[in-house]
Structure 1
């Protein structure tokens, strides 16, 4: 593994342990050249996924890009990092288990929306505003109306 500090091609693993409920391996590494310490994560990848954008362009799936967009939606929200990682891993597993190597970006967006809906209402609205390309305040009102309608249904089901 290349050192992120000095670029040396070698690093030594000092500690390995299971992470993310056994889905990943966390490795603490040290660079023999600059003594820099850093952490890497190793995950099982079932298949190489390719995202098909709205424009038709094909790009390799990037788990970190998915994680950044979810963390952006959750910015300044009280969300446990482990729970967020489990949500991200769950979305990736769903994508990999479809059996398809080509995944439309809209399908990824729908999975994120479903995951955020049960996770955090504010993050759901934030993500929806970008994913659904909100242009007007009425777009927000529509999503908020859906959320409150869902809450009313859940309250009725509880009674």
Structure 2
């Protein structure tokens, strides 16, 4: 593993443990050249998932981008980083286990909204406002009303 600080390839693992609901391995590393410490994560990737954007472009699924989007939606909310990592891991598992090599950005957005809906209602609405491109306050009101009606009809 290359050191992100000095670029040396001479690093060693000081500690390993499972992370993200046992779907990843977290490794603490130290660079033998400069002494810097850093953390890496190792995950199994079953297959390369391509995301088909609204404009038709195909890009590789990017966990980090999804994590950033969810983190922004949950900014200043009582949700810790571990919960966000678990949400993203769950979404990635759904995509990988779906059997398809291509998914639409709409599917990824819907999975993210469902995960946020279960964790934090404010983050859910924030994410939806960007994902569904809300234009004015009435869009928020309509979305919240629609969501409330769906919750009332949910048999759980």
1:46 corresponds to 2:26: no
TM-aligned CA deviation for residue 89 of structure 1: 0.7
1:7 corresponds to 2:7: yes
TM-score for the superposition, normalised by structure 2: 0.93
| Alpha-carbon displacement from aligned partner over 1:14-64 (angstroms, at most 9, x marks no partner) | 111111221110100011111100000101111111111111111111111
In 2, Cα distance between the equivalents of 1:39 and 1:13?
9
Aligned twin of 1:57: 57
**Superposition map of 1:49-128 within 5 A:** 49-128=49-128
**Superposition map of 1:12-31 within 5 A:** 12-31=12-31
Aligned twin of 2:143: 143
TM-score for the superposition, normalised by structure 1: 0.91
In 2, Cα distance between the equivalents of 1:52 and 1:35?
42
Q: Name the SS of the counterpart of 2:67 in structure 1.
A: helix
| Alpha-carbon displacement from aligned partner over 1:117-154 (angstroms, at most 9, x marks no partner) | 11111101110011011112111111111233345446
In 1, Cα distance between the equivalents of 2:29 and 2:133?
41
Q: Name the SS of the counterpart of 1:118 in structure 2.
A: helix
Cα RMSD for the two superposed structures: 1.5
Aligned length: 156
**Unpaired runs of at least 5, structure 1:** none
Q: Name the SS of the counterpart of 2:119 in structure 1.
A: coil
